[in-house]
Every structure is written in structure tokens, then in C-alpha cells.
Amino acid sequence: MKNVTMFNHLIKTYNKLAYTHNYIFGFEYKGVVYASYQDSTILASICKLDKASRGAGYSLRFQPTNAQKVALLTESEVVCSKEFFDNMVKDSKYNKGEIFEKLVTENMFGQEWSKDNVPFTKGGDIETDNMAYQVKYQGATFTNEKTLARLSA
């Protein structure tokens, strides 16, 4: 029961502090990388409670199961093949989340991508037509207990 309470606390506090409640979730399913457009109402359904690193308590992570990926497919579009994606990551200094964000920004929104470190409380990863989106690729951490405690103080 403690973990359910912590999970709900992390989602509620994250939502309270987040600049945007619009998301583009990236995931690989059966050899294809997809982008799913969602809002914050889905977070409890596709996130999990995990242990944060370096003594930061618990974390909120986007780590969808296959069943959750299938559910996300209804609101998704194809980004690229897994092979193409993996090659981009291999040939780059950026991680999977950054490469996914780059592909979405450039190929789906027609904008130039550059790596930034804008906090989730100050802006989205992509902004288009007056709409901000946070972009998360499978395995991404939203936040952790330590960060939320600091921001809520």
C-alpha cells in the first residue's frame, strides 16, 4: 500500500509542477518506433514506480509493458524502424531519448532540433502551434522524490 501511495504522490506532485500536460511518448514495438500523443490522464496507466539513483528516493518512470504499448498504438504514428533508430543512436553522442526527440522535432514537426536542458517546470521539449509537449522515450524517468521535494519547498 505504501508504494501505491508514493506512486500517486509522485504523479500528483509532478502534474502540479509541470509546465505542460501534453506528452509524446516514444516506444518500440515489433521492430517499429512509434510516437503516441497523450495527456497527463494516462500517466498512472503507463508509468511505474522505480528506485531512483544516488539516494534520491523513488522515481516515476515511463517503462511500458507490451500490453500498454498495444493500448498506446491507437493514438500513435510511426516514426521509423527500430533498425534505423538503433543505428542513429549508435552513430551519435546522444541517448535514445534525445534521438527520439530529434526525430520527432525534425521529421514530424519540421523544426530544427537542438539539445537543451529546459526544466519540466519551465517549458516543453517541443512547442508548436502554441502547444508544448514533453517528450519521453521508453525507459525515461520523469522525476524523483528528491527533485519534487526540492521544487515543492
Mean pLDDT of 109-127: 92
Convert the pLDDT of each residue in 47-99 to its tens digit.
999 998 888 899 999 999 999 999 999 999 999 999 999 999 999 999 999 99
pLDDT at 56: 86
Strand bridging mode 131-137 / 22-29: parallel
pLDDT at 2: 64
**Residue 149, SS3 per DSSP:** helix
Residue 111 predicted with pLDDT over 60: yes
Return the percentage of the chain with pLDDT > 90, whole number.
86
143 φ, ψ to 5°? Answer: -170, 180
pLDDT at 116: 87
State how many domains the chain has. 1
pLDDT at 110: 93
Convert the pLDDT of each residue in 88-109 to its tens digit.
999 999 999 999 999 999 999 9
Enclosing domain of residue 115: 2-152
Mean pLDDT of 20-44: 96
- Cβ neighbours for 131, distance < 8 A, ≥ 6 positions apart: 20, 22
pLDDT at 97: 96
pLDDT at 123: 94
Residue 127 predicted with pLDDT over 70: yes
Mean pLDDT of 2-23: 92
Whole-model pTM over 0.85: yes
> What value does the mean pLDDT of the chain take?
93
How is the beta sheet containing 47-51 ordered, strand by strand? 47-51, 58-62, 140-144
